[in-house]
Amino acid sequence: MFTIVTIATKESEAFLRKKTKEVSDPHSITRGFVGEMKKTMIATNGIGLAANQIGEECKVFVATHAGKFYTLINPEIIKSSSEEEEGEEGCLSVPMVYGPVKRATKITIQGTDMRGKFVKIKAVGLLARIFQHEMDHLNGKLFIDKATSLYRVDGEVKA
């Protein structure tokens, strides 16, 4: 299992805010690596995990929704609905902090799957939100940058 990189130090926050690098050979992403990402995501009660959240600079994320597991290598959102919805978000890299974030209700994302096959996924609702959150990570953005307000689970206002 991997250790989650958090914003606890200036160095780790700076790392999370760096844009990840394209994977030149999608076949270099091994099942073992993705399996460990999935195990880490599940063990930490996450529903998505980007590679930079475990200290890797590659453009890869894993996600789970409605009993299905997704792996996307070099993902790119190619279409977003103009309709947005505000929803509560949290993040494994920003522990104990939550806040409402507006996101497109529908997106189309493309990338490479674990078999090295090109995939295009039309996502709606929570799955669209998860994919957008993970794409933000890969682009060096955190949900706290987009949230209209933030709070800690202990009730203390963060921003």
Cβ distance 131 to 109 under 8 Å?
A: yes
Residues 6+ apart with CB under 8 A from 57: 18, 20, 21, 51
Of the listed 11, 22, 89, 134, which one is catalytic?
A: 134
Q: How far is 5 from 64, CA to CA, in rounded Å?
A: 20
The residues pairing with 14 across neighbouring beta strands, listed in sequence order, are none
Cβ distance 70 to 86 under 8 Å?
A: no
Active site residue 134: yes
Active site members: 134
